[in-house]
């Protein structure tokens, strides 16, 4: 029987384990002065929100972590949920990542038109076509996953061409990360 | 979620290597997320050559001459049989009937290696997508790799089957053969026991002018039974059970010239192998009891040729059997009378 064990070839036992992970929704509140309810507002003051600490490595790949050679972030996407009907806005968002114990890094700036359409699974980043996303920030994230270090995504959001039917409008911003762990069990 | 990862590594071979429960890069509980039926179908295809090859190998190495021992003559021999996995069994396509497992890339034309297929890295393996009953993705995992036995040990992919046996001459040209390993317990990791019995009977004694015949001719009937188990997680009561039965009936002819005995056989062989995973296995949503039960049956014509070299009491034997899994056997032993 040990023949079987010794007989494993050069590649060893290697596997990619991939998960599409949805982060807990971020609650966002877009506000206008009472006097501006139902009125087109060219721009709202910036608001800051963040995901809170995320640890994909420990939370979602814990059982593989010690055998993981590397993590790859394949895709990042977002979903807007619960933006109320009747209100409308475009959003300009600056995203940074902050890995625990490190300083923040710029990740991406995006514009979301017609957020009232509640867009679903909109691609922010694709490893095969990184676009405007900072590849350095992505590399730092992947290393953080391997180290089991938590991080958070911070967003500064400005509403443009905003028309709200109430002074405050709440909606959810949801991140999805598609992540692959390369696992090497036997060399 | 994962108590038992990487379970696919040929459970029949796990007994001596408990760490191998972690050796295949595949989360068995994730397989179960896709449902018992899908998990069984995948395992059945992936493990097929291991169990079939084992069945063919068990029917090898029984004899190295057609001449039974004289009364109370005996031999003790050990052998290793290598049941060559046919090229067609080194890969498999995803079985039909899967409901919650699919290729992540449906246009991926690569086939999946069986356990006795080539040893491939993750980049060269198709990716499997596991979904729940609602069609929502649970996880994606590289198809399990083959072991690539041919890279190191032998120049071809083969299932090794070691065996030890005793032959004893009794009466009227009859020889009894015994294979026996008493129940072994591997310190809580698992256990194995083996029993086999064979009978060779000289038929030349019934032929006219038997003394003048330039060869020996016998009939042989052999049966082997192996029972083994592996404790995947003893505390959780999770066990993998592997039982195999094989029998063969052969006509055997041999001719001795000096130290050399050439022999050949023709007959029929049959094997029946069961593999069961027993105990409770939990996923995030369900608990499955005794989730996997696989059975492999094979039968067919078996033809073999071989040669034995006998130096005083020492015998060295080589045999090649032509069957679905052509099997090469090498043995060494001591023979008296």
Task: State the residue for tokens 């179908």.
Answer: B41
pLDDT tens for chain B, residues 1 to 337: 333 333 333 333 433 333 334 434 344 665 676 778 888 888 899 989 999 999 999 999 999 999 999 999 999 999 999 999 999 999 999 988 899 899 999 999 899 999 889 889 999 999 999 888 888 888 899 988 888 887 766 778 888 888 999 999 998 899 999 999 888 887 778 888 999 999 999 999 998 877 778 899 999 999 999 999 888 888 888 888 999 999 999 999 999 999 999 999 999 999 999 999 899 887 767 788 998 899 999 999 999 999 999 999 999 999 999 999 999 999 999 999 8
For residue range B195-213, list pLDDT tens digits in order. 999 999 999 999 887 777 8
CB contact under 8 A, B151 and A7: yes
CB contact under 8 A, A6 and B153: yes
Mutate one of A2, A5, A6, A7 to test the B interface: name it (highest B CB count within 10 A).
Answer: A7
CB contact under 8 A, A14 and B121: yes
Task: State the residue for tokens 């729940």.
Answer: B132
For residue B10, the model assigns a pLDDT of 38
A65: chain B residues, CB-CB within 8 Å:
none
For residue B12, the model assigns a pLDDT of 35
For residue B234, the model assigns a pLDDT of 82
**CB of A35 less than 8 A from some CB of B:** no
Average pLDDT over residues A75-103: 94
CB contact under 8 A, A183 and B151: no
Strands annotated E in B8-126: 74-84, 91-92, 101-103, 112-113
CB contact under 8 A, A9 and B20: no
For residue B49, the model assigns a pLDDT of 93
ipTM > 0.85 for the complex: yes
Q: What angle do CA B211, B213, B214 make, to 5 degrees?
A: 120
User: A14 and A129 in contact (C-beta within 8 Å)?
Assistant: no
- Residues with Cβ within 8 Å of A122's Cβ and at least 6 positions away in sequence, in order, are A77, A78, A79, A112
pLDDT greater than 90 at residue A136: yes
CB contact under 8 A, B145 and A186: no
Mark residue B220 as left, alpha or beta (left: phi above 0; alpha: psi -120 to 50; beta: remaining).
beta
- Give the integer Cα–Cα distance in Å for B21 and A185: 11
- Give the integer Cα–Cα distance in Å for B13 and B229: 10
For residue range B2-51, list pLDDT tens digits in order. 333 333 333 334 333 333 344 343 446 656 767 788 888 888 999 899 99
For residue range A90-134, list pLDDT tens digits in order. 999 999 999 998 999 999 999 999 999 999 999 999 999 888 899
Structural domains of chain A, with CATH: 2-186 (2.60.120)
Neighbours of A70 (CB within 10 A): 13
For residue A184, the model assigns a pLDDT of 87
**CB of A70 less than 8 A from some CB of B:** no
Helix, strand, or coil here: A63?
helix
A15: chain B residues, CB-CB within 8 Å:
24-26, 122, 125, 141-142, 144-145
- Give the integer Cα–Cα distance in Å for A137 and A154: 13
B54: chain A residues, CB-CB within 8 Å:
none
CB contact under 8 A, A1 and B15: yes
- Give the integer Cα–Cα distance in Å for B323 and B81: 13
For residue B126, the model assigns a pLDDT of 93
For residue A187, the model assigns a pLDDT of 62
- Residue B314 burial by Cβ neighbours in a 10 Å radius (0-12, 13-18, 19+): exposed
A3: chain B residues, CB-CB within 8 Å:
149, 153, 160
Helix, strand, or coil here: A62?
helix
For residue B153, the model assigns a pLDDT of 66
- Give the integer Cα–Cα distance in Å for B296 and B244: 9
Mutate one of A1, A2, A3, A4 to test the B interface: name it (highest B CB count within 10 A).
Answer: A4
């Amino acid at each position: 029987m040990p023949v079987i064990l010794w007989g494993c070839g050069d590649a060893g036992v290697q596997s990619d384990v991939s998960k599409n992970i949805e982060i807990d929704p971020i609650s966002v509140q877009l506000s206008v002065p009472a006097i501006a309810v139902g009125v087109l507002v060219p721009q709202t003051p910036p608001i800051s929100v963040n995901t809170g600490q995320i640890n994909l490595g420990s939370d979602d790949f814990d059982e593989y972590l010690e055998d993981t050679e590397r993590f790859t972030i394949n895709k990042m996407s977002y979903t807007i949920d619960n933006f109320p009907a009747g209100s409308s806005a475009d959003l300009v968002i600056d995203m940074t990542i902050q890995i625990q114990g490190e300083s923040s890094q710029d990740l991406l700036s995006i514009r979301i038109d017609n957020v009232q359409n509640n867009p679903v699974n909109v691609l922010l980043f694709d490893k095969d076509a990184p676009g405007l996303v900072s590849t350095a920030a992505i590399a730092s994230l992947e290393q953080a996953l391997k180290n089991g270090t938590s991080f958070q995504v911070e967003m500064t959001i400005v509403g443009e061409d905003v028309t709200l039917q109430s002074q405050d409008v709440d909606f959810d911003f949801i991140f999805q990360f598609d992540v692959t762990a390369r696992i090497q069990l036997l060399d | 979620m994962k108590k038992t990862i990487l379970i696919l590594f040929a459970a029949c071979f796990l007994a001596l290597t408990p760490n191998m429960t972690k050796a295949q890069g595949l989360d068995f509980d994730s397989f179960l997320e896709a449902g018992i039926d899908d998990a069984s179908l995948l395992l059945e295809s992936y493990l097929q050559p291991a169990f079939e090859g084992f069945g063919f190998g068990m029917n090898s190495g029984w004899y190295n001459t057609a001449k039974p021992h004289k009364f109370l003559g005996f031999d003790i021999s050990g052998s290793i049989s290598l049941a060559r996995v046919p090229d067609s069994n080194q890969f498999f396509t995803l079985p039909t009937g899967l409901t919650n497992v699919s290729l992540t890339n449906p246009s991926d034309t690569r086939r999946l290696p069986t356990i006795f297929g080539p040893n491939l890295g993750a980049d060269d393996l198709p990716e499997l997508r596991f979904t729940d009953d609602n069609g929502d993705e649970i996880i994606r995992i590289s198809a399990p790799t083959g072991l690539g036995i041919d890279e190191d040990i032998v120049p071809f992919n083969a299932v090794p089957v070691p065996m030890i046996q005793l032959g004893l001459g009794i009466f009227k040209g009859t020889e009894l053969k015994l294979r026996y390993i008493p129940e072994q317990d591997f310190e809580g990791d698992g256990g194995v026991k083996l029993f086999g019995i064979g009978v060779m009977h000289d038929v030349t004694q019934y032929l006219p002018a038997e003394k003048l015949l330039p060869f020996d001719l016998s009939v042989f009937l052999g049966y082997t039974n192996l029972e083994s188990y592996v404790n995947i997680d003893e505390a959780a009561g999770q066990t993998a059970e592997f039982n195999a039965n094989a029998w063969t009936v052969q006509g055997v002819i041999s001719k001795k010239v000096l130290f050399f005995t050439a022999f050949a056989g023709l007959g029929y062989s049959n094997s029946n192998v069961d593999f069961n995973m027993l105990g409770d296995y939990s996923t995030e949503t369900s608990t499955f009891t005794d989730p996997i039960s696989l059975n492999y049956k094979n039968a067919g014509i078996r033809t073999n040729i071989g040669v034995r070299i006998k130096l005083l009491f020492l015998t060295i034997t080589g045999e090649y059997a032509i069957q679905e899994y052509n099997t090469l056997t090498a043995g060494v032993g001591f023979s008296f009378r």
